Amino acid sequence: MLKKVIIDHNVHFSAIYTQDSLTRQKLMTAPFPVYTPNYLILELFKHRQRIVSRSKASEEEILSYLDKVIQKVHFFNEELMSIEKFVEAYHLCREVDENDTTYVALTLEMDGLLWTRDEELKNGLRQKGFDNFFDESSLP
């Protein structure tokens, strides 16, 4: 059975920055279900100006890329997560980056793999015994 993969905001942002995004190509052809918490919508809205200013694409193109990616990703309502998993994720993330708690909680909730490029987060979580990371080099 294929593991469920949870993408965090940095992977999602990378998938919408440019026309030739390798991340978007990998994401769109991934042979497994991809999930993210509804919290990602807030992150996209909060950082929209930064995304547009750093992008090599117009705002209209970014919205087009976003539309494609959103159709591939399954959004998960955080309110359906168990309190226990959220608390566990908070304890794992609090000294590294509390903003990633929701992504880690969803990973724990779904017994999945976290697809992130945040090396500081990975290192901090590994030091606490969490090593459920997706290796994107396994994708063509």
Q: Which residues contact 19 (CB under 8 A, 6 or more apart)?
A: 56, 57, 61, 65
Residue 25 lies in a domain: yes
Q: How many domains does the chain have?
A: 1
Domain coverage including residue 71: 5-135
- Residue 140 inside a domain? The answer is no
Mean pLDDT of 65-78: 92
At 106, the pLDDT band (50, 70, 90 cuts) reads very high
Global pTM reads 0.90
Residue 71 lies in a domain: yes
Note the pLDDT of residue 1: 55
Asked whether the predicted pLDDT for residue 90 surpasses 90, the reply is yes
Average pLDDT over every residue of 76-89:
95
pLDDT in the model for residue 87: 97
**Which of 69, 73, 128 lies closest to 104, judged by CA?**
128
